[in-house]
């Protein structure tokens, strides 16, 4: 019996769980599938800082809203991974090859290390990654966990 699917989610997806944005409904499908045990969501430790930073710049978010969002994120028990030497080295290679930030490449390197899909809502990142087989755009109906049966 195969284990549940592992999916690396980036901050552009997770931020949509706390702030109504384009594709928030699709982003919430990943969260719900994780909570229900259908998939395991994974991210580098950087995710926590990136989500907090993105929400910090939302004008409608108070300091208390931000703290509560971070507590709620922690309660979801996403598998947070610290960087390893191999993942960091791979992130550097990916960043240089595709002309992206180390922040973005850390998610992709983690996905590669797990042979897992990486889901983003960052269209510019997807464009730069070309046809990388593990990087998928949020909202692609063939890739949403609720539609994968």
Please state, in angstroms and as integers, the Cα–Cα distance from residue 1 to each residue in 39, 73, 116, following that order: 15, 30, 18
Annotated ligand binding at 10? The verdict is yes
Instruction: Compute the half-sphere exposure of residue 18: CA atoms within 13 Å on the CB side of its CA.
Output: 27
Identify which of 141, 143, 138, 140 has the alpha carbon closest to the alpha carbon of residue 121.
138
Residues belonging to the binding site for Mg(2+) are 10, 104
Residues belonging to the binding site are 10, 104
């Amino acid at each position: 019996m195969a284990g549940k699917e592992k999916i690396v989610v980036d901050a552009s997806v997770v931020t949509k769980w706390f702030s109504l944005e384009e594709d928030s409904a699709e982003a919430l499908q990943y969260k719900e599938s994780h909570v229900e045990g259908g998939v395991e969501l994974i991210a580098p430790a950087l995710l926590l800082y990136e989500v907090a930073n993105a929400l910090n710049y939302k004008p409608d978010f108070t300091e208390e809203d931000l703290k509560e969002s971070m507590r709620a994120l922690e309660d979801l028990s996403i598998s947070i991974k610290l960087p390893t030497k191999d993942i960091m080295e791979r992130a550097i290679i990916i960043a240089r090859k595709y002309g992206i930030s180390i922040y973005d490449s850390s998610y992709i390197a983690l996905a590669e290390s797990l042979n897992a899909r990486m889901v983003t809502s960052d269209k510019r990142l997807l464009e730069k990654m070309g046809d990388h087989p593990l990087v998928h755009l949020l909202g692609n109906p063939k890739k949403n966990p609720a539609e994968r049966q």
